[in-house]
Amino acid sequence: MSWQQRIDTALAARRSAQTFRQRQPVTQGAGRWLQQGEERWLNFSSNDYLGLSHHPQIVAAWQQGAALYGTGSGGSGHVTGYSDAHQQLEQQLAEWLGYPRALLFISGFAANQALIAALMGKDDRIVADRLSHASLLEAASLSPAQLRRFVHNDSEQLAHLLAKPTSGLQLTVTEGIFSMDGDSAPLEEIAAATSAAGGWLMVDDAHGIGVCGEEGRGSCSQQQVKPDLLVVTFGKAFGLSGAAVLCSEATADYLLQFARHLIYSTSMPPAQAVALSQALAVIRSEEGDARRETLRSHIARFRQGAEQLGMTLTASQSAIQPLIVGANERALRLAQHLREQALWLTAIRPPTVPAGTARLRVTLTAAHQPQDIDRLLEVLNATRQ
């Protein structure tokens, strides 16, 4: 088989299974409205949970940061790319979340890959929730450590797997809120099982940070759990991009020596760090509390309306409200119908989710209005008749 034949065969298989992915260029993709040129749709696919991506103070902070520092960092943080703006943001994050140190990464994907690659050896074991994000499972699969997966949110099976003999160290991996199902991990039980086995706990709280807990401190704070490694990302509630790892002093020093994503990758622009500091200030403020309350109200409104219409919902209490469709073709057809009604929802299909569980992933944000929720429910109900 030639290279071209290999590529053509893989693409043909994706098209045949209705899982071929395509990007859609948009004029505006975050916020209440999604726009393509002159057309616009109510946007129920954005992860901009608090509606901060267009916040005037955050936009102004980025502009001011660019005027002060320029548009790029100029190198990795080990060379010239670590500015006082980066340092200030790391200190603010560490204080906010109650950790000795925070380290910035260019993305959540990079943070997860870097942690697992730097920490795990061939005699070690990773025990990960089966529905963990692709960045976590891929990193675990590529690491020299043994990977075992436990049934989603099943702390008893986790404890059983952790109890098996091993000559190395053990790392439990899970998420605070799961990106495709929207449900929360039982972090207290998971932390107890991990501690009993002498392991470390790593939690990716991409979809919880900024949204839940006091001052938006996230899933771990809400459940009063302090994992050994906490990954928070800025592409959701913060309205920007990037990520940070919260950890101990020694672990931070270790990662600065051995995390290749930190050593060999250009750091985020200092202007972005300035904007993130402003986003954090908004998240921690009374305005942040009001935005979280608005989001909670929207979630309750959607779930109550969907239940009244007889729709089947998952156990999610988060901004992620998946509507399981089943067949890939039907999910694509429904998404297209909704777009024809000026509603933008994304059909999520395998391999992102398990086969037979294609879904419309509804994401709600503080930028929505109550009438937007009602319109979505109205159109969804009409598609079932």
Which sequence positions are flagged as catalytic? Answer: 47, 133, 175, 179, 204, 207, 236
Rounded CA-CA distance 46/37 in Å is 18
Token pair listed for 349:
């299909």
CB 364 within 8 A of CB 319: yes
What's the burial of 132, exposed, middle or buried (CB within 10 Å: 0-12/13-18/19+)?
A: buried
- Comparing C-alpha atoms, which of 139, 107, 103 is closest to residue 124? 139
Distance of CA 83 to the CA centre of its chain: 26
- Comparing C-alpha atoms, which of 127, 224, 212, 226 is closest to residue 169? 127
Distance of CA 137 to the CA centre of its chain: 14
Angle between helices 328-340 and 370-383 (to 10 degrees): 130
Name residues whose C-beta falls within 8 Å of residue 186's C-beta, 6 or more positions apart in sequence: 153, 155
